[in-house]
Structure 1
Amino acid sequence: MKRKILPASLLPLFALLALACSGKDPEPPPPPPDYLYDVEAQPFGKTYEQWAEAWFQWAFSIPKAENPILEGPCDQDQTGDVFFLVGNTGGQTTRACTVPSGKAIFFPIVNSIARTCPEYVAIDPSQMCETLTSETEIHDVATSFFEDYEVTATLEVDGNAITGLEDRRAHTATFDDPTSSQAEDIFGTPCSGPIRENSCGVPVDSTRIAAADGLWVMLKPLSAGDHEIRFTAKIVTAPDQAFELDVTYNLTITP
């Protein structure tokens, strides 16, 4: 008797039917890798809030010409067990970066910072010194981006979507703005670096204070080789106005 040959297109279906007839369920796909430290874990002895403050202290102490946020080298002043990555000031960015093996990776998907700014009275006389120098006010302003507006965010690591990002929000304690006077225009704002001449009576060259909020992640050390991290965010501040970013990192983890 001549043997019938199954068309190649029917072989996967035949295999599934045979498996179903055998009474065995197909194996479920493996879960995605456990990329993230839990928010409550206090990795390397710091809470997420403390790591967020450490990130700002690092990022804002780097001069404008070398700052990774403004496309400077990603390895600027990287020390310790954690390697910091950055977002951008809006739009789409792709970067390549080499990270030493064994380093955790910490970065904001999207964040906000508010600082005291007595100098702003000269720009807008309707502003009040009490508001512009209030510690409570800067915390409220930093929070407002995540409380008053619609915020969406995504994160993928090696093509695996990470969910639950809303649970990774962290609000810092008050900290001193580390921006130097030479890098005071790092983000195009007069409200950075030491206090300058103002009509509110705040001493010139005194330390400016800040507070920050945001969605943050701490990745466990990645295996040696190539990896891709992509994160996006959108904050809708008005029906026809929004801040958006889309950042991709092509990482090489050294052996």
Structure 2
Amino acid sequence: MKPNILSASLLPLFAMVALACSGEDPEPPTPPDYLFGVEEQPFGKTYEQWAEAWFQWAFAIPKAENPILDGPCEGHQMGDVFFLAGNVGGQTTRACAVPAGKAIFFPIVNSISRACPEYVDNPDLTCEMLTSEPVAHDNASSFFNDYEVTMTLEIDGNAIKDLDDRRAHTATFDDPTPNQAEDVFGTICSGPIRENTCDVPVGSKRIAAADGYWVMLKPLPAGEHEVQFTGKIVLSPDQTFELDVTYNLTVAP
């Protein structure tokens, strides 16, 4: 949705005359200040802590309701910040109602790496690698350190710049995926630890780490808004991950 710039064009008559006489073009309106700065701590958390909170939210939701898989975006929301989700690739358009006064937090592209002793049967992997916190952190970052990443973000038609500055890497956290949602992303490496030959107790928590590019929108004014973001990660000459997500948001008065 294009921004309404009518109010910016209602300059006093004497200003319009002065500009006409001087031959100068009027300056374009300044886009709204949509985002919290990456150095800020909105609602008491850093961007890194909000990234972890986002994963705790998104991965705890069962498959049938999960917003990453087009479940209702209003579900399982709480507190001062409203979470939005991307997708698992491709183009998606969603409609979502957001309560007034809520900040909005979401990833443009992100990655999670989890300890997975169940995969030790692979001859290239060891128990130490599959349960190591440093390895989990390195794997989470590899997409953004090793590959070409491009992103865009538009809010009400206004392009947001300097997205490369919005990268955040989480501390280690416990994977919140419950047993009943173990197939959300099609991998056994989620939820509590299962049977393995690495002597990791079955049912124990699975550690995880995450990386990515995130934005925290300040509360939007009441009315209709459009948020669109795209991401592209070139993994190889013949393998690319791409997403294009549009949210049509209605903020309650």
TM-score normalised to structure 1 length? 0.91
Distance in 1 (alpha carbons) for counterparts of 2:39 and 2:241: 29
Matched, 1:192 2:190: yes
- The change in CA–CA distance for 1:21 and 1:227 in structure 2 (over 3 A counts) is closer
Contact 2:98 2:251 in 1 (8 A): yes
Which of structure 1's runs of 4+ aligned residues deviate more than 6 A? 18-21
2:169 to 168, 171, 178: 171
Residue aligning to 1:183: 181
* Residues 128-169 of structure 1 deviation map (CA, whole Å, 9 limit, x = unaligned): 111011100000000111000000000000010000000000
Residue aligning to 2:22: 23
Residue aligning to 1:77: 76
Matches within 5 A, 1:150-229: 150-229=148-227
C-alpha displacement of 1:58? 0.4
2:140 to 139, 142, 146: 142
Contact 1:19 1:26 in 2 (8 A): no
Residue aligning to 1:116: 115
Question: Which amino acid in 1 is paired with 2:162?
Answer: G
Distance in 2 (alpha carbons) for counterparts of 1:136 and 1:200: 18
Residue aligning to 1:106: 105
- The change in CA–CA distance for 1:21 and 1:46 in structure 2 (over 3 A counts) is closer
Matches within 5 A, 1:41-56: 41-56=40-55
Q: How many residues align?
A: 237
Gaps of 5+ in 1: 1-17
* Residues 78-117 of structure 1 deviation map (CA, whole Å, 9 limit, x = unaligned): 0111000000000000000000010000000000000000
Question: Which amino acid in 2 is paired with 1:106?
Answer: F
- The change in CA–CA distance for 1:246 and 1:99 in structure 2 (over 3 A counts) is same
Question: Which amino acid in 1 is paired with 2:78?
Answer: T
- The change in CA–CA distance for 1:21 and 1:158 in structure 2 (over 3 A counts) is closer
Residue aligning to 1:239: 237
Contact 2:108 2:214 in 1 (8 A): yes
C-alpha displacement of 1:27? 1.7
* Residues 218-251 of structure 1 deviation map (CA, whole Å, 9 limit, x = unaligned): 0001111110000000000101111000000000
The CA RMSD over aligned residues, in Å, is 1.3
Question: Which amino acid in 2 is paired with 1:157?
Answer: I
Gaps of 5+ in 2: 1-16
SS at match of 1:69: helix
C-alpha displacement of 1:22? 2.3
Contact 1:153 1:234 in 2 (8 A): yes
Distance in 1 (alpha carbons) for counterparts of 2:75 and 2:139: 29
Please tell me whether Structure 1 or Structure 2 has the larger radius of gyration of its CA atoms. Answer: 1
